[in-house]
Amino acid sequence: MNNVEIVKYIYEKFKHGDAPSILTTFAPDVEFRLAEGHPYQPAGEPWLGKDAITQHFFAKAGPEWDWSIALANVHDLGDTVVVEGRYKSVYKPTGKALDAQTCHVWKFKNGTVKSFHQYADTAQIQEVMTHS
């Protein structure tokens, strides 16, 4: 698979909650960074390595979200893939829907994901995750 195909594979697996398959595409020392202000990591500090990502992200996001992303544009820049799209998701604990613009920057080294950086409207994410 080329880098764009790997990114599309990851989104498909995430939609089905298949974290183990996603992790096979990550380098052992992968850096995973959510947008600043995201409820799972408000400071925007990265998680380093597959174990940290599993513990702090997949263990929470998997059970809590009915998640998908609608891809608008995928830019192949060689070792970097930039994705523009929209989250089309439901946060299960509140039942609220999320329809938010997002941009993801994926960086690759030797055919594996070296880093992921999310840019998103975290105010919308926070609102959806807040009980009324």
Average pLDDT over residues 48-71: 92
| Each residue's pLDDT tens digit, 101-110 | 999 999 999 9
Average pLDDT, the chain: 95
Q: Give the range of the structural domain holding residue 107, as residue numbers without chain letter.
A: 3-128
The model's pTM is 0.94
Total domains in the chain come to 1
SS3 content of the chain, % helix, strand, coil (to 5): 30, 45, 25
**CATH assignment at residue 22:** 3.10.450.50
Q: How confident is the model at residue 26 (pLDDT cuts 50, 70, 90)?
A: very high
pLDDT for residue 132 is more than 80: no
Q: Strand, coil or helix: what is 109?
A: strand
Contact 115, 82 (CB under 8 A): no
Average pLDDT over residues 12-23: 93
